[in-house]
Amino acid sequence: MNEEIFKAYDVRGVYPSEIDERAVGYISKAYVAVVKPKKVVIGRDVRTSGQSLLEATKQALTEAGTDVVDIGVITTDMLYFAVAHYGFDGGIGITASHNPSEYNGLKMVRSEARPVSMDSGLAEIRDLAAKNDFKKAERVGKIEELDILDGYIKKLLTFVDKELITNKKIVANPNFGAAGKAVERLASELNFEIVKLNFEENGKFPKGRPDPLLAENRKETTELIKKVGADFGVAWDADADRCFFFDETGAFVDGYYEAALLSQIVLDKYPGGKIIHDPRLIWATQDLVKEAGGIPLINKVGHSFIKERMRREEAVFGGENSGHFYFKDFYYCDNGMIPFLLMLQKLCETGKQMSELVNPLRQNYPVSGEINFTVTDSQKELDEIKEKYNDAMIDTIDGISVTYPDWRFNVRISNTEPLLRLNVEARTKDLVDQKVAELTAIIED
């Protein structure tokens, strides 16, 4: 088994050269040994290798004596819902999120949808799976199937007031993933019109990597918004645990601005609440949270780290610039549909266009967008940058964050890919551009 498929908080690799049915079987049995569940929920995203890996997971879990509840093709937040809402002992999702079609992997949770990451059991699972030395269970687990879509939709609708949703035309792009069926059901319950784009579930992802963060993936959404005169657009990655918006002009809304706006929306319901955000870009979120009477708290990037901090602080919302948004009222988990519903209701309530909400942030908090570098020695690059800017205020919560009065940046090693990620913010766009050029020259030197 290739141990390099174990990442910071999930398992991910190319199928079948890096991850296959045998590896998934070993990992599933190791999961049972570590988590000790009696009944586990399993589901998969739309990838073509998903069903075969799901069957291997099912077989391994039952051989290990664990009962299995198969919930079929799902989004990752549907897995979280099923585990937490129905009170199961854990869950395994067969997914590689936004990675290309040749990838697949596993996301594992405990009861209450608590994450299994490197610091909470994943390292132990890796080591046990590598040994493949498991005792035969006293019994073979049972298998049942469960359709959770009705319950999931009912849960989503608790986040909005149906009466406040007035007719909006929305371009919706699930990127061939599993989000489409949930969007259709929501449209049947609420007063909005969907203009569908890439709605057919297709695990080959015929238009490339299913990741709205990639600029090349946004063009068709932008063009369709303009063509049909939509009020706004929304796109999800393949497993739909991330959500991104486009305004009525077709312009992409940076995840940073989404996090800041959603923080204020949640604080309308929970005045004085704590908001968890990541260190990549911070000024807009901190300012808007304080303006709304909330308490902003910085935390390390990554869904398992954010969730753990939210539970510890009893925070009401967590936002990452990558498009992951977490809600106390959704079991402290990330969800890709709730941001869509909250933003829809906000636009209906205020009568404003999306650009009216976002443009003040674009103007007052200019950013670089995340810039990725492939480097041979990531730690060496971080050390050189830290030394270069040693006259600034520096923190190492995640990578290196360097702050001056009129600009700041964060550079960190990716938890999921072999990349160095850079984010820059400043008081002016010209200064952002200047500092991006300066830092790029250092990293690429």
Name the residues annotated as catalytic: 97
Helix axes 149-157, 180-189, angle to 10 degrees: 60
Name residues whose C-beta falls within 8 Å of residue 273's C-beta, 6 or more positions apart in sequence.
Answer: 266, 267, 294, 295, 315, 316, 317
90-94 and 252-253 beta bridge pairing: unpaired
Taking the CA of residue 335 as centre, how many other CA atoms within 13 Å lie in the half-sphere pointing to its CB? 28
Is-contact 238 97, C-beta < 8 A?
Answer: yes
Cα–Cα distance for residue pair 373/312, rounded to 1 Å: 34
DSSP H or E stretch at residue 44: strand 39-44
Quick check: helix, strand or coil at residue 99? coil
Cα–Cα distance for residue pair 126/117, rounded to 1 Å: 11
Strand partners, 68: 40, 143
Taking the CA of residue 272 as centre, how many other CA atoms within 13 Å lie in the half-sphere pointing to its CB? 0
Q: Which two tokens stand for residue 301?
A: 């990037």
For residue 47, the tally of other CB atoms under 10 A from its CB is 29
Is-contact 302 117, C-beta < 8 A?
Answer: yes
Cα–Cα distance for residue pair 281/22, rounded to 1 Å: 41
Q: What residue type is assigned to position 390 of the chain?
A: N
Is-contact 276 328, C-beta < 8 A?
Answer: no
Name residues whose C-beta falls within 8 Å of residue 170's C-beta, 6 or more positions apart in sequence.
Answer: 192, 193, 194, 195, 230, 231, 232, 233, 234, 344
Name residues whose C-beta falls within 8 Å of residue 284's C-beta, 6 or more positions apart in sequence.
Answer: 256, 257, 260, 361, 364, 365
